[in-house]
Structures are given as structure tokens and as C-alpha cells.
A and B are shown apart, each in its own frame.
Chain A
Amino acid sequence: MHNPRPGLPEFDYVRPASLSEASRFLAEHQGEARPFMGGTDTFVRMRDGFWKEKYIVDVKRLDGMGDITFDPSTGLTIGAAVNMNRVIDSPEVQEHYPLLAEAAKTVASFQLRSRATIVGNICNASPAGDTIGACIVMGGVLKVHGLDGEREVPLTGFFVGPGKTVLKPGDIVTAIRFPVLPQGHAGRYIKLGRNALSDLAIVGVTAFAYPDDTPSGYRFKLALASVAPVPLVPEKAEEILTGKPITDETIAEAAQAAMDACNPIDDVRGSARYRKYMVRNLTRRAVTDVLNRLQ
């Protein structure tokens, strides 16, 4: 048959009426159906022929997917369909989780962010995902609807490889939940792109800390983007910053540990060697910025 639209392969657009129906459909069509949110990654993958799904499942309008709620005793919940501009503009996010807004602002362009979502960024599981680090260091937990109903999945261990997660057929992430953060916390996301705005990260460093009863006086959390097959947590660097009094030497030692922890590749955006050095420099800078914000 004549194909008047060579851009995208043929598929069916499915809009299930409930989460159970959506989970069932996805499980029954394993490998040929995919849920999507803003579509900012999905479309590109389909157009370039990487994804050849027969069914595209629109789950954005299902219960609670579009809500963003904050409760001072339990924390923040962001529905899977909430776009990044809404997250950035949310007064609760700005007041209680500013790191998330800071990271989201670095994603692509304003127009992309009016479709792109945090949960989509996570499920896409790109090692370069700009908001993933913030979600990891602030203890984000995914709410997942699967064949057996609802469950929670922590981000630790969620990523398996580029584009691969522990999600099973029929699983739909409906929201991400953040706990109430410890008093006095501060965070920083530094993204190195080819230009100041709108490109993917060559390297991204997320740093987060809060006062705690430790030798340094703080508990530190770090996450690195674009330097390994999955978003990377350099645990040794975190331990150094938590376990020793903070001096310039401690920060340098932690930055070196972060550099040693990563295992980047050469690609069109930068060489592995360059990435490793940038991790060291940007970790030092991000940690310093966090310490300044803590005081």
C-alpha cells in the first residue's frame, strides 16, 4: 500500500480506560506495546526505527497521573503525566525540593518541557537523564501499577542498562514520591553541555547534602550522569565527604573518587577521558556550591 507518511511506522493508538486495563494490555502485548508520557523520546525512537511497537498506549489521562501534591508530613508526589514546566513552576517544589526544579530547568527547551515528564525521564533510563540524579539523591520512590496491583519501587537498583529498568511487562509507573527532606538540606546540579542551553549532558553532576551527626557534620549524596551505562552513584566519594572533616583536600579526594568510579564511553559529545576529568572538576564545583548553600 502507498504510504503517505513515511515518518513513523504504522501502529495502533490505544487509550485504556483504567490502569488495570492498561497493565493487562501491556502484559498481553509484551514486546509490541509501550506506554508513553510526553512522547519527547518515544517519537524520536520510533522515527529513527529503534522502536517498532505495534501499540502505543496513552496512559496520561488515567487516575492521578496529572496531579502534583505536597503534604508537609509525608512529602511530595508527582504524577507521571505532570510536565516539567509544571514541576519547575510548583511553589512546593521551589520551596521544599529546589534541586528538582534546578535539574529540570536544564532539560532541553521550554517547549520540550511543556511535554516532557520526570517519570518519563526516569523510565527512558538514559544515563544522561538530567532529572534522574536529583530523584536519586532525594530518595525518590516510584509508584508502579502492575498486573498484581500497586507497589513501590525505589530508584536504587531501578536502572539496569541504557534504556533498561527492572520494570516488568504490564508495569506502568504512575508517580514518583519524595520523602520529606531533612532540615537544612541543599543541592546542586551542574550540567556540562555543548552549549549553555538545550543539549544533552556530556556530563552531569548532582550533589546533595544535609546536616547530620557525622565526622564532616553532613550527610552527602552524589549522582553522576552520562558516565556509565546507568546513572551512577559514586559511593566512595559520598563516604569521604561524610566521614571526614570538610577541607579543600577532602573535597579534592572525593572529586577524585567520583572520577575513578565512573566508566564513560567516547561518543559524539565527548571522549571518555574528557568526561572523567570533567566529573572530577564538576564534582568539586558542585560540592563547593552545596557547602555554600548549606551555610
Chain B
Amino acid sequence: MSEFVSVNVTINGKEYQALVEARTLLSDFLRHDLGLTGTHVGCEHGVCGACTVLLDGEPVRSCLMFAAQVDGHEITTVEGLGTPEKMHPLQEAFQEAHGLQCGFCTPGFLMSLVPFLEENPNPTDEEIREAISGNLCRCTGYYHIIDAVKLAAKKMAAK
């Protein structure tokens, strides 16, 4: 039995084929093997949410998955959300409403909030608080993030 596992995965619409060590975390695979360093790694215990990516559209902790587990699945990282020239409305809203300061937690927040806003296009403050309860931010005190989410909801409704 080999410790290496073959993985076929679609990331941000692009297909990847790789041979990974069984113990390679999805977060490390994205960052080290593929150079997709937009996904940040904080606590590596599933608490802080910085490493959140979408697995078949669902937000998951990439530090709590093996790369081997995403064989045959689809992953979206923050790189798949928008580009500096053409940002996702949620990214624009974070910029405009000062939803970040150091920015370390931001990719995780964005990836948690994208599916949330798709399901709840017009969320209440309470719902937003619950949605971001799995992401830690040490700069903003969260208020500006909540403002950003409400602004994003408006932007997305207008499109």
C-alpha cells in the first residue's frame, strides 16, 4: 500500500491532477502544492475559520480535510471569487465598509458568506452574526463586517 494518493479535483473551475501524501491537509495542498495562498491557515483546529473554502458549494474547513478526500469533488477558494480588477460584490462591500483591517481572516469570512448570501439574500443582523460565528476576526470587532454583509446583500440584489 502506498502512502501516496491520486487526486483529481476541480479548483476554481480548473482541473488538477496530483499525487499527494495521505496526510496532506487540503489547506496545505492548496497553499504549498498549488500556490493558492489566498486560503489562510490560522488555528489548524477548525476553530478560527481562516481556512474556509467551498467543497461542492458548502463552506468547510480546509485544515480539517485531507487533500485525498476531495478526489472527484469541486473546490472554490478565494482566488475563484474575483480578481483585483473585477471583484465579487461581497469583496467590494468588505472594501467599502471597512470589513477588514489586517485581512488575515478575510478569505475565510468571504468563503463562509458567499453561500450564506446565496441562501439568505436579505439577512437580518442576527442571521449574519450566526453565519459568521465560525470565523474569528481580531481587528474589526465584527461591526464593520456586519455592515459589509448588509452592503453586499444590497449590491447583489441590485444586479
Which A residues have a C-beta under 8 Å from some C-beta of B?
4-5, 7-14, 38-40, 43-44, 47, 56, 58, 85, 108-112, 114-115, 196-198
Contact = CB atoms under 8 A, between A and B. Distances in A.
Contacts of A109: 49, 133-135
Interface stretch (B18-26, B90-98, B145-153): B18-26
Interface in B110-159: 112, 116, 129-131, 133-135
A114 B54 CA distance: 10
11 contacts: A4-B32, A13-B3, A44-B45, A47-B44, A108-B46, A110-B130, A110-B134, A111-B49, A111-B112, A111-B134, A115-B60
A5 B23 contact: yes
A197 B130 contact: yes
A8 B60 contact: no
A111 B61 contact: yes
Contacts of A11: 3, 22-23
A109 B131 CA distance: 8
A40 B46 contact: yes
B76 interface: no
Interface in B14-66: 21-25, 28, 32, 44-47, 49, 52, 55, 58-61, 63-66
B34 to A, nearest CB: 15
A5 B64 contact: no
Contact of A40 (B25, B28, B55, B64): B64
Q: Please name the 4 residue pairs, one residue from A and one from B, whose CB atoms are nearest each other, closest first.
A: A109-B134, A13-B22, A197-B133, A8-B23
B130 A5 contact: no
Contacts, number: 93
A47 B61 CA distance: 15
Contacts of A38: 64
A200 to B, nearest CB: 10
Interface string B66-92: 101100000000000000000000000
Contacts of A4: 32
A44 B131 CA distance: 23
Contact of A43 (B28, B49, B64, B116): B64
Given A13-B66, A14-B1, A112 B23 contact: no
A190 to B, nearest CB: 17
A112 B1 contact: no
B46 A114 contact: no
B61 A112 contact: yes
B64 A10 contact: no
Nearest to B5: A13
Nearest to B67: A13
Contacts of B22: 10-13, 56
A7 B61 contact: no
